[in-house]
Homo-oligomer: A and B are copies of this chain.
Amino acid sequence: MSGEDAPVQQQNAVDQKQETKPAEEPKAEPPKTESPPAAAAAEAEATTEKVPEEEAFTYRALVLTGYGGYDKVKLQVKKGKPALKAGEVLVRVKACGLNFADLMARQGLYDRLPSPPVTPGMECSGVVEAVGEEVTDRKVGDKVMVLSRFGLWQEVAVVPANHTFLIPEGMSFEEAAALPVNYITAYMMLFDFGNLRPNQSILIHAAAGGVGTAATQLCKTVKDVTVFGTASASKHETITQGGVTHPIDYRTKDYVDEVRKISPKGLDIILDPLGGSDTHKAYNLLKPMGKLITYGAANMLAGQKKNLIAVAKNWYHQFSIHTLSLIQGNKSVCGFHLGYLEGETELITEAMNSILDLYKQDKIKPRIDSTWHLEQVGDAMRKMQERNNIGKVILTTEPMPEEEKKEEPKKEDKKDDKKKDDKKKDDKKKDDAKKEEKKDDKKKEEPKKEEKKEEEKEEPKKEEK
């Protein structure tokens, strides 16, 4: 256990001190959950008699305690009811979405997350429990989904009201937590940068992932769009049902060859979450007037800790383009990341309204891969990072039943192990270098997993405090 893993009480106190310091980046608007300084001071003195409601208020929060593996995200208990400023609402969180940027952030590869200790989480759903002054369009009891730069993986979050969106009739909290990041990302890429129109063709990498599923559904809202989607073979049936016209098993086939066989001239739009050499391939696979939209560097993620070789490779192969080449090719290269669109409330609200209209018309529906308790966040992240999900990985703030705490994690582990075995078979087909890296990662992982289980057993004690 590292020095960062201090007992909850102490850790919490440290958090409070740190969080009442001026924010490192003045522009950041994280959901605030600390007690105001005055209340904290009061708390320190008033150790006897009746405890004010604000101080008795506790809630569980996931905290990234340092960069590294899955075990770096800890469940902690925080004290003190967060104060609301004008324009803010307090949301009782029901479910949270996991995103690739959260995995990058855990490894220290995402600069939009402040330094640890910090609560990650860019999207959640829940119920408005209190509203600040000047909030006119939200009231207590409203079911909302929330989008924020970070700080939503906890039971209670304070956010600006204009970062919340009303959940439409019939949408579950899980669906609502699965929607904002993936659908806004897919929507803006396809309909703003991509300018997707009837009869066009598109390549969606990781078509079974969160953005991939959303993008596929959104493509289906436009007439006669041909969707090429990459995914491992076991997911092909599902993504085909979801709207992918031509599924491609990227583990056994060269996706460029597969696309060219069917669409020799290339494609109108390519969504690229991979980065590195895959961006080069995508560029060459564009038709005239084609648009390459890059929105990540998933190739940087190899193993659960920062892999310097993978990061360096990605940098080395990073795509760079001269305007002369763009002119001669009649091509477009776009970059997108919702995390860097902070403050563009108008653009985001516009996209969200269109998305919610499509939901109400039954044209889109978030697909949930699996739902995990806060205690299981490590396994949830692993499932996503190892590409074992189909659709969205969700965290629920529902308390974990006592029996599950002893049994469920093991069951999940068994499931994971089975999938890992499948994966190993697949990996044999891949290049040896990658396999070596993978094995090393796994070796390093094992002991930590043991640690993790021990921690989970400790968890109930912490919560009881």
A interface residues with partner B (beta carbon < 8 Å): 188, 192-193, 195, 275, 279, 288-289, 291, 294-297, 318-337, 340-341, 344, 347
Contacts and interface: CB of A to CB of B under 8 A. Distances in A.
A332 B193 contact: yes
A319 B320 contact: no
Given A335-B327, A335-B331, A336-B327, A188 B320 contact: no
A335 B326 CA distance: 4
| Most chain B C-beta atoms within 10 Å of own C-beta, residue among A275, A330, A344 | A330
Contact of A336 (B193, B291, B295, B330): B330
Given A289-B344, A327-B340, 18 more contacts: A193-B332, A275-B323, A291-B332, A294-B323, A296-B327, A297-B324, A318-B322, A318-B324, A319-B322, A319-B323, A324-B335, A325-B335, A327-B335, A330-B337, A331-B334, A331-B335, A332-B333, A333-B334
A344 B286 CA distance: 14
21 contacts: A188-B289, A193-B195, A288-B340, A288-B344, A289-B341, A289-B344, A319-B323, A320-B321, A321-B321, A323-B335, A324-B335, A326-B333, A326-B335, A329-B340, A330-B340, A330-B341, A331-B334, A331-B335, A332-B334, A332-B335, A333-B334
| Most chain B C-beta atoms within 10 Å of own C-beta, residue among A323, A330, A335 | A323
A294 B336 contact: no
Contact of A321 (B297, B331, B333, B340): B333
A435 B217 CA distance: 58
